[in-house]
Chain A
Amino acid sequence: AQSVTQLDSHVSVSEGTPVLLRCNYSSSYSPSLFWYVQHPNKGLQLLLKYTSAATLVKGINGFEAEFKKSETSFHLTKPSAHMSDAAEYFCVVSSRAAGNKLTFGGGTRVLVKP
């Protein structure tokens, strides 16, 4: 079985300050991990993915995430938030043991204040 827990349902930051979105996962097999962003009434856009290569993964729009096996975490960060970063973010896990199905976290809504 696999599962994902996003530790914060809402995060509020000021424009220009760092963003941290926390994600913990559970998987009985070597996982692949993803972060997706969803803007209102839109589909999902892939920010970055980890698939057993480098543990520090760089994505689009200045986002990056670090896979820490010992902590079963895959936190998403960005050094400086932009107004356009206001959206819903999903941490997602997948593994061969789960038939390569995606399991989504509950989501974190990011608010960026001017």
Chain B
Amino acid sequence: GAVVSQHPSRVICKSGTSVKIECRSLDFQATTMFWYRQFPKQSLMLMATSNEGSKATYEQGVEKDKFLINHASLTLSTLTVTSAHPEDSSFYICSARSGARDYNEQFFGPGTRLTVL
């Protein structure tokens, strides 16, 4: 149980285009989902927290207009990188937390590798 999927696993796009990444909880309802960014050989940095049906809360320094997050249902959150530039190239990882389980535990997706040319 507690499986989280991400789609796509890898995406290459041209500079200036927008890219949407999906995060799904497959066997539980995720009241809260998180989006992280990981640069090569570095740790994970929390970008934003989203609760189903409400606006996402962004961490300091993360541009909310550039990284649009939607959490429309208890099993799906999307991250849209708008007008992507090469510096947005990174590994994006989502996680999900269930209100019915240990409130501290997050279940992670496999990640999406974004490359902006």
Beta-carbon contact of B102 and A51 below 8 Å: yes
Q: Is the CB of A12 closer than 8 A to any CB of chain B?
A: no
* Assembled-state Cα–Cα distance A103/B4 (Å): 20
What chain A residues lie within 8 Å of B60 (beta carbons)?
Answer: none
Q: Identify the closest chain A residue to B110 (Cβ).
A: A43
> Are A100 and B108 closer than 8 Å at their CB atoms?
no
Complex contacts, A63 vs chain B, CB 8 Å: none
Chain B contact residues, majority secondary structure: strand
Confirm or deny: B49 has a beta carbon within 8 angstroms of a beta carbon on chain A: yes
**In whole angstroms, what is the CA distance A18 to B51 when docked?**
42
A11 and B7 CA atoms in complex are apart in Å by 33
Nearest opposing residue in chain B for A90, CB measure: B43
Those of A9-67 within 8 Å (CB) of chain B: 32, 34, 36, 41-46, 49, 51
B53-71 interface bits toward A, Cβ cutoff 8 Å, 1 = contact, 0 = none: 0000000000000000000
In the assembled complex, the Cα of A70 lies from the Cα of B96 at a distance in Å of 32
User: Across the interface, do B42 and A100 meet the contact criterion of CB distance under 8 Å?
Assistant: no
Mark interface residues in B29-45 (1 if CB within 8 Å of A CB, else 0): 00000100000011111
- A88-114 vs B, CB cutoff 8 Å, 1 = contact: the mask equals 001000100000111011110100000
Contacting residue for B109 out of A43, A105, A106, CB 8 A: A43
- Chain A interface size, as a band, is 20 to 34
- A104, B43: Cα distance in complex, Å: 7
Docked pose: A101 CA to B111 CA in angstroms: 19
Cβ of B76 within 8 Å of any chain A Cβ, yes or no, is no
Q: Distance in Å from the Cβ of B94 to the closest Cβ of chain A?
A: 9
Beyond A49-B102, A100-B97, A105-B43: 20 further Cβ-contacts under 8 Å? Answer: A32-B104, A41-B111, A42-B111, A43-B4, A43-B6, A43-B93, A43-B110, A43-B111, A44-B44, A49-B104, A90-B43, A94-B104, A100-B104, A101-B34, A101-B46, A102-B34, A102-B95, A102-B106, A106-B43, A107-B42
| 21 CB < 8 A contacts A-B | A34-B105, A36-B108, A41-B91, A41-B111, A42-B111, A43-B6, A43-B108, A43-B109, A44-B44, A44-B93, A44-B95, A44-B108, A46-B105, A49-B102, A49-B104, A49-B105, A102-B95, A102-B106, A104-B45, A107-B42, A107-B43
